[in-house]
A and B are shown apart, each in its own frame.
Chain A
Amino acid sequence: DIQLTQSPSFLSASVGDRVTITCRASQGISSYLAWYQQKPGKAPKLLIYAASTLQSGVPSRFSGSGSGTEFTLTISSLQPEDFATYYCQQLNSYPITFGQGTRLEIK
């Protein structure tokens, strides 16, 4: 199985901050990586797919980059609604796997 390791697991930040979350894969996955945002009691919401493609309707302050084994999700200027848990997901090979999550909280 391909393991995805997110860092940090917990992040405290303020409105307006720029934050970056990293996802490292245990082996190369090309660009078959997606990012999701999950709020308490809700289903995950797709933000980014193909490592860097912004899903329709997602604010442009979200961006993704990377390929191979290292990927990043960046939020350029945190808004109050961005405080949530973020997951990366690899779809390169089965079984599909997710990172352990990064919880983003208000400082």
Chain B
Amino acid sequence: QVQLQESGPGLVKPSQTLSLTCTVSGGSISSGSYYWSWIRQPAGKGLEWIGRIYTSGSTNYNPSLKSRVTISVDTSKNQFSLKLSSVTAADTAVYYCARGGGRWKFDPWGQGTLVTVSS
């Protein structure tokens, strides 16, 4: 059974770059026709899709964040990563990684990791 786990700093200073990694266990990140996504959720608010990557390296980003986002994949480590540059307090949120199944669903999800942007 595939499981996902986010990791990275829980505190980032304003104007710096947020960096998170999602480690996939229980299966190969390269198997099947899946893609790998990042989603975030500010406290008490709804879900915002950040972007996704296929293991081929093909990416799509949310236009609202596109200028600041980079998602990459390392198949040798069974990981994919998120970088969000020039962060502000508005980027404070729980960040989730998830596996995408075509145009149908996100499943499974990681447990989420809280990132706070503060000096």
A-side residues, CB < 8 A to B, are 1, 32, 34, 36, 42-46, 49-50, 55, 87, 89, 91-92, 94-101
Contacts and interface: CB of A to CB of B under 8 A. Distances in A.
B47 A91 contact: no
Contacts of A98: 46-49
B105 A55 contact: yes
Contact of B107 (A55, A94, A99): A55
Q: Taking each of A45, A49, A99, A100, which has the highest tally of chain B beta carbons within 10 Å of its own beta carbon?
A: A49
B106 A46 contact: yes
Contacts of A100: 46
Interface residues on B, range: 20 to 34
Q: Does more than half of chain A's interface fall in helix, strand or loop, or is it mixed?
A: loop
Q: Does more than half of chain B's interface fall in helix, strand or loop, or is it mixed?
A: strand
Interface of B: 37, 46-49, 52, 60-64, 96, 100-112
Contacts of B101: 49
16 contacts: A32-B103, A36-B106, A43-B109, A43-B111, A44-B109, A45-B109, A46-B105, A46-B107, A89-B106, A91-B104, A92-B103, A95-B62, A96-B37, A98-B48, A100-B46, A101-B47
